Amino acid sequence: MMKVLIVDDEKRISDGVRKYFEQAGFDVQAAYDGHSALKIALKDTPDLIVLDWMLPGMSGIDVCREIRRESNVPIIMLTARVEESDKLIGLELGADDYMTKPFSPRELVARARAVLRRSQMEPVQSRSVYYFGNVILDTNARECKVDGKIVSLTPTEYDLLVYLVRHPNQVFSRSKLLEATDLGVYEGVERTVDVHIHNLRKKIEVDPTNPQFIITVFGVGYRFVNSLGSSG
């Protein structure tokens, strides 16, 4: 049974969300403040975390930042903030998705399943290992190495990288990349792709400000270029 940690200081919201997840077959834990959430997240290793932005003691943003130092567990942020810039902060810190309050618990469960699907399932492909520059991407192991060291990627970053690498030299719009990683079904905010690409470049590019692999096609989107490596 998949374990979900729900973090919200409003017990009414937490109990309501818990009910929907339990009905969907999840094992649910709850935390009502940031410090408790961080302790449970690192000790009990849930499969997914639903994390509210505004928490007593330690904000959801700080919790997300600390979790990302130790774990790639999928995180869905909940926020009452409606400004796009606020939502993008969570994505920059490693959240995989976000929902704005008030929200539909059914949609939250659907998004959770989509994030979990991205984090755990790998499409069957004849080719499993990709080499480009100092990067090795092993899709069987769901592992990315840079200079021989494993790089920690969120599920969304990993899926974006795999999709681009498997379609070299093809230009993809932001909406197509959202759709390809299941995010487009719900988000509809194309700038979220820019945030994930920005984070990905910081992890795999020698110089993120002058990328060799993930190239911006202005006015259109992105393409992957591999002139330095080969396939395995």
- pLDDT at residue number 121: 56
pLDDT average, residue stretch 104-131? 78
Beta strands per DSSP E along the chain: 3-7, 27-31, 48-52, 75-79, 97-100, 129-132, 135-138, 143-146, 149-150, 172-173, 214-217, 221-224
Do residues 78 and 52 touch, judged by C-beta distance below 8 A? yes
Provide the percentage of residues in the chain whose pLDDT is more than 70. 88
Nearest to 189 by CA among 77, 94, 63, 99: 99
pLDDT in tens, 21-34: 999 999 999 999 99
Beta strands per DSSP E along 147-186: 149-150, 172-173
Q: Are residues 14 and 105 in the same domain?
A: yes
CA atoms within 13 A on the CB side of 158: 29
Mean pLDDT of the chain: 86
CA distance 117 to 46: 15
Indicate whether 230 pLDDT > 50.
no
CA distance 200 to 193: 10
138 forms bridges with which residues in the sheet? 129, 143
> Can you read off the two tokens belonging to residue 81?
């903030």
Please give the backbone phi and psi of residue 125, each rounded to the nearest 5 degrees, phi first: -135, 150
User: Which of these ranges, 1-10, 121-130, 152-161, has the smallest mean pLDDT?
Assistant: 121-130
* Domain region containing 169: 129-224
User: Which of these ranges, 20-29, 49-58, 91-100, has the smallest mean pLDDT?
Assistant: 91-100
29 compared with 87, residue with greater pLDDT:
29
Asked whether residue 229 is assigned to any structural domain, the reply reads no
Q: Are residues 162 and 85 in the same domain?
A: no
Indicate whether 229 pLDDT > 50.
no
Indicate whether 126 pLDDT > 50.
no
Instruction: Tell me the pTM.
Output: 0.63
pLDDT average, residue stretch 161-167? 92
Q: Are residues 175 and 200 in the same domain?
A: yes
Asked whether residue 231 is assigned to any structural domain, the reply reads no
User: Which of these ranges, 80-94, 126-140, 169-183, 211-225, has the smallest mean pLDDT?
Assistant: 80-94
Q: Are residues 10 and 116 in the same domain?
A: yes
pLDDT average, residue stretch 45-74? 91
Residue 215 C-alpha from the chain's centroid = 20
Residue 111 C-alpha from the chain's centroid = 12
Q: Are residues 12 and 109 in the same domain?
A: yes
Asked whether residue 85 is assigned to any structural domain, the reply reads yes
Q: Which amino acid belongs to residue 203? A: K
pLDDT average, residue stretch 119-140? 74
Q: Are residues 106 and 150 in the same domain?
A: no
CATH of the domain at 188: 1.10.10.10
CA distance 34 to 138: 35
Q: Are residues 83 and 19 in the same domain?
A: yes
Do residues 181 and 193 touch, judged by C-beta distance below 8 A? no
Indicate whether 184 pLDDT > 70.
no
126 compared with 136, residue with greater pLDDT:
136
Domains identified in the chain, total number: 2
